Amino acid sequence: MEEQSSCPNVSIPCCPNVSIPCYNEQRDKKKRYTVYKVMVNVGRHEWFVFRRYAEFDKLYNTLRKQFPSLNLKIPPKRIFGDNFDPGDILINLTLPDVRAFLQMDKSQNFSDPSEDEDDKVGDDRTPTDFDFLKVIGKGSFGKVLLAKRKLDGKYYAIKVLQKRVILNRREQKHIMAERNVLLKNMKHPFLVGLHYSFQTTDKLYFVLDFVNGGELFFHLQKEQTFPEPRAKFYIAEMASALGYLHSLNIVYRDLKPENILLDSEGHIVLTDFGLCKEGISQAETTSTFCGTPEYLAPEVLRKQPYDNTVDWWCLGSVLYEMLFGLPPFYSRDTHEMYDNILHKPLRMRPGASNTAWSLLQALLEKDGTHRLGSRDDFNEIKAHYFFSEINWDDLEQRKVPPPFTPNVNSPHDITNFDPEFTGETVTNSVCYTEDSIVNAIVMEADDAFLGFSYAPPSDDSFL
């Protein structure tokens, strides 16, 4: 349990400049201790080190022995943060103990800023560039908020993630993979676009397209099922997006109605790339057990190596749900649902065309090696007779009129979002860095999220 403390700022006009902008009380195994965040600035270079009082005390003892005439005294622990004089430890910067304490010989602290992606991009990006207006979604690591950029009044969806939660769950690789996938999405019309990303001491920020037609899940809840032509349109756009990801050797792994948005015109936009797996060509496999229970392919449940055909299973599951109101093997009992996925035959229901059933059976084939898409990926999907009326070139140029247009009255309209989210209060902590919660885990975060920040070459491309 943490006890937050105030953050005094102490510095002196010398080179290097050392200050303690923040400290925090921590409890570890029922023992309380204080971690001080020390900011070191040398010319254009700036970095943080994290030290406990005992480490300061040890350094003071070393300096007292070498400079007895200076009569150095360390302030008592209870008032140290407010009374520490950086000049005490800057007596002689050639001393190995001082240099080690300030990490002055750590090469990455003096790397060329032009070679550091997080120095090049995002240093001038801060949460205060935006007015955060409404919560529009929540996830395992944070929230998604509607925000207005102060510079030009444009609206964006900003995904705000807590570093500590990510690190505690050891999910930093997934977050960095999501960032990498988002950067590759810019060339496809049915994938959400990343405008830029940046980080503060304790949070990560993805600045994304604000897509306000609502989740497919939201509309399915209201309407229960969709007519087959409408479902066909959505599935075709989803298949196009998945095919594009596969062409980049990316497996999506989490296709579900909650991750499919509608834009203001009615086109689908795929979002949330946290479970994507990079570097998987059609001939390669992975084996991580992940996804959403209702949409897991049999080979994932069996913990067998799998490839990008798991995405085509998910596509079939979403098509089935749009046509009939529930995923194909759904049960409230998860174990029973897993058993259904593994062993029960696909249940045919009235109301769908023969070509729809043919596609469902081909996509929901339990043997991944025989599933539609297992040989020639997206090309097999496009060639199925269910899509015979689709002009794929027109579809991917957004020339095919959507069968449904969401009720969107303005660029910041949130009526298609769940009131459970939009009614939530936007807290100040979303916008401001909570330096008072800094602790030793931030040292790990420095490396875990290295290279996270991104911005286009100029603000002209911030569209």
Q: Answer yes or no: are the C-beta atoms of 286 and 253 closer than 8 Å.
A: no
Two tokens, residue 8:
């005094």
* Alpha carbons within 13 A on the beta-carbon side of 166: 23
Look up residue 160 and give its amino acid: V
**Annotated catalytic residue within 209, 254, 307, 413:** 254
Q: Is 159 annotated as a binding residue?
A: yes
Two tokens, residue 321:
């749900």
Q: Answer yes or no: are the C-beta atoms of 435 and 167 closer than 8 Å.
A: no
Q: Answer yes or no: are the C-beta atoms of 11 and 19 closer than 8 Å.
A: yes
For 38, other C-beta atoms within 10 Å of its C-beta total: 24
For 271, other C-beta atoms within 10 Å of its C-beta total: 21
DSSP state of 206: E
Q: What are phi and psi of 52, to 5 degrees?
A: -95, 165
Q: Can you tell me the distance from the alpha carbon of 209 to that of 270, in angstroms, rounded to the nearest whole number?
A: 11
Burial of 192-230, coded b for 16+ CB within 10 Å and e otherwise, reads bbbbbbbbbbbbbbbbbbbbbbbbbbbbbeeeeebebeb
Residue 458 contacts by C-beta under 8 Å, 6 or more apart in sequence? none
Residue 371 contacts by C-beta under 8 Å, 6 or more apart in sequence? 309, 312, 313, 362, 363, 365
For 149, other C-beta atoms within 10 Å of its C-beta total: 16
DSSP state of 12: -
Q: Can you tell me the distance from the alpha carbon of 374 to that of 282, in angstroms, rounded to the nearest whole number?
A: 8
Residue 422 contacts by C-beta under 8 Å, 6 or more apart in sequence? 134, 135, 136, 414
Burial of 305-338, coded b for 16+ CB within 10 Å and e otherwise, reads ebbbbbbbbbbbbbbbbbbbeebbbbbeeeeebb
446 in catalytic set: no
Residue spans of alpha helices (H) in 169-227? 172-184, 216-223
Active site residues: 254
Annotated binding site: 159
Annotated binding site for ATP: 159
